[in-house]
Structure 1
């Protein structure tokens, strides 16, 4: 079968389509014919062996697929690897039934990115009615859904950040009340200004470095910063517990892998979001439905932050 296989770590040049053996089902696993596989920023980190979990070569990247089993079931699933392929072996426990009226792009978008956005809003960020919420990278796969889920949770004001005017316009079209350039010299001041001059209650952050530091400074007493990635590649400044105590603020981390200890919660979240999408109440932003033969270019675009929404690959092309 055709698949993307990485045999050495490095840049986009190491991502190649090859002929490989088909996967075999094992205990608790089933093989699906993949109709679309998702592309995530984490895949570029795996390619460089810079992800949270170490990578062993050779590896077929890709942690999200939607497809059908031999008995006709339509499933979307998160995998540890193996998604960039015509067939993938998935764990039944991490698979979700997909309604027939949900398209492939949305079915994939609601996996890593949708479930992350849902968990950040509902659990890690604990967004309450009337609170102000900052969503960084609001034009991305997680951010575009988090903006909408925060509004649905009753957020009083959603402040989006995005790197270009077009991306900021997209965030506003999704329901954000204000949009800010994260490159602002005084990001703390810009976030507060977008909140009517007041500090903010919740920040959903995945950039790192100065963005994390200045977002933390923008928090109101009892505010929460939920950290779920470091796309900028720069560690934030260390945070002293006494500094958190002075303003009664919380900094917490989230990695979706840990949420799989609560499979029933994830299954409910996926079904809830799928129903919202099919009802027209939650919009999935497609970042491109690309042939797998263009995977190298897709990785380049993703790392250069030239993408919006959810990127998927069609392994049949």
Structure 2
């Protein structure tokens, strides 16, 4: 079968499509023919050795897939032909950039017929992240800020915050097209963060009070900007692992205004039962059209380098997938 391998750190061209044996089944495992594999920005960072943890090489990337069960090992109860999503990231797996993967049958979550595989994949890391972030605090009457609002997490988070009762959603993004997209998803106000005065625009939108909650999964200077935009007693939900930078002055001002920085890491929140229930919930929201899932572009496996260039360009809106 074809699979993607990283043998050395570097740019997108280090992603090699290689022929390897189709993985053998163990007891209670299923073999899944991959119809869609998610591409994530953290995988581009890992490829460059810029992630919080240096991965071992060779690396077989890909931690979220959806596809069809083609074979089952002894004790596996999933029926052949079943469409499933496999959150490999939650069970310590990888290698999803491939034509086939194996996983324990307990890790598979059935995908409704109304949910395409590309959409199912977009609801794994990004969907679960947005869902748990939206659950983090009571939202009734709150004004919230969402950065990178046209991205995989941001586009879902806007909608889930609205469903959860947020009173006002301010979205930041980078182009006029993305600003309109954020509004169409439920943002009340959309601000272009490439404008040097974007922080003033957010402050003006809150009549100078600042936002109650800011959600940032970008990090760097954006996280520090979000901290400055909080009102008294506000919360910054920060989920950019290894990419957050706050000055001593930022932290002193935060303390003076009774504000908080709340770290967000998805994996510790996911027991097997919670993971399954949450994915069933997200698939149901999608299948009933209460949640719109944006697919930016699907690439064949042999164009994986182009997929990584696309995600690094920051021009994408929604999820980028591979379709082996």
Q: If the length of structure 2 is used for normalisation, what is the TM-score? A: 0.90
Q: Counterpart of 2:6?
A: 6
Query: Hey, what's the Cα distance between the residues in 2 that align with 1:291 and 1:235?
Result: 36
Aligned length: 311
Give, in angstroms, the shift of residue 297 of structure 1: 0.9
State which drifts further: 28-37 or 234-243. 234-243
Q: 1:251 aligns with which of 252, 258, 261?
A: 261
Q: For the structure 1 residues 66 and 187, does the alpha-carbon distance in structure 2 shift closer, same or farther, using more than 3 Å as the test? A: same
Give, in angstroms, the shift of residue 28 of structure 1: 5.6
**Alpha-carbon contact 1:41-1:303 (below 8 Å) kept:** yes
Give, in angstroms, the shift of residue 238 of structure 1: 5.0
Query: Hey, what's the Cα distance between the residues in 1 that align with 2:36 and 2:225?
Result: 38
Q: Secondary structure at the match of 1:59?
A: coil
Query: Hey, what's the Cα distance between the residues in 2 that align with 1:92 and 1:253?
Result: 32
Deviations 1:201-249 (A, max 9, x none): 1111022222111210111122111111269x67343577654332221
- Point out where structure 1 has 5 or more consecutive residues left out of the alignment: none
Q: Counterpart of 1:286?
A: 295
Q: Counterpart of 2:286?
A: 277
Q: If the length of structure 1 is used for normalisation, what is the TM-score? A: 0.91
Q: Secondary structure at the match of 2:135?
A: helix
Q: 2:229 aligns with which of 194, 212, 218?
A: 218
Give, in angstroms, the shift of residue 29 of structure 1: 4.1
Q: Counterpart of 2:323?
A: 314
Deviations 1:157-211 (A, max 9, x none): 1111111111111111111001111233344322222334331011110222221
**Alpha-carbon contact 1:117-1:149 (below 8 Å) kept:** yes
Query: Hey, what's the Cα distance between the residues in 1 that align with 2:219 and 2:47?
Result: 20
Q: For the structure 1 residues 238 and 195, does the alpha-carbon distance in structure 2 shift closer, same or farther, using more than 3 Å as the test? A: same
**Alpha-carbon contact 2:218-2:240 (below 8 Å) kept:** yes
**Alpha-carbon contact 1:159-1:195 (below 8 Å) kept:** no
Matched, 1:86 2:96: no
Q: For the structure 1 residues 235 and 308, does the alpha-carbon distance in structure 2 shift closer, same or farther, using more than 3 Å as the test? A: same
Q: Secondary structure at the match of 1:31?
A: strand
Equivalence map 1:16-31=2 (5 Å): 16-26=16-26, 29-31=29-31
Query: Hey, what's the Cα distance between the residues in 2 that align with 1:29 and 1:140?
Result: 33
Q: For the structure 1 residues 244 and 9, does the alpha-carbon distance in structure 2 shift closer, same or farther, using more than 3 Å as the test? A: same
Q: Counterpart of 2:141?
A: 130
Q: Counterpart of 1:178?
A: 189
**Alpha-carbon contact 1:46-1:61 (below 8 Å) kept:** no
Query: Hey, what's the Cα distance between the residues in 1 that align with 2:102 and 2:50?
Result: 24
Q: Counterpart of 1:112?
A: 125
Q: Counterpart of 1:265?
A: 274
Q: Counterpart of 1:15?
A: 15
Q: Counterpart of 2:74?
A: none
State which drifts further: 35-44 or 234-243. 234-243
Q: For the structure 1 residues 276 and 137, does the alpha-carbon distance in structure 2 shift closer, same or farther, using more than 3 Å as the test? A: same
Give, in angstroms, the shift of residue 94 of structure 1: 3.8
Q: For the structure 1 residues 46 and 95, does the alpha-carbon distance in structure 2 shift closer, same or farther, using more than 3 Å as the test? A: farther
Q: For the structure 1 residues 244 and 29, does the alpha-carbon distance in structure 2 shift closer, same or farther, using more than 3 Å as the test? A: farther
Give, in angstroms, the shift of residue 122 of structure 1: 0.6
Deviations 1:265-310 (A, max 9, x none): 2222211111111111110011112211211111111111121111
Q: Secondary structure at the match of 1:294?
A: helix
CA RMSD of aligned residues (A): 2.0
State which drifts further: 148-157 or 93-102. 93-102
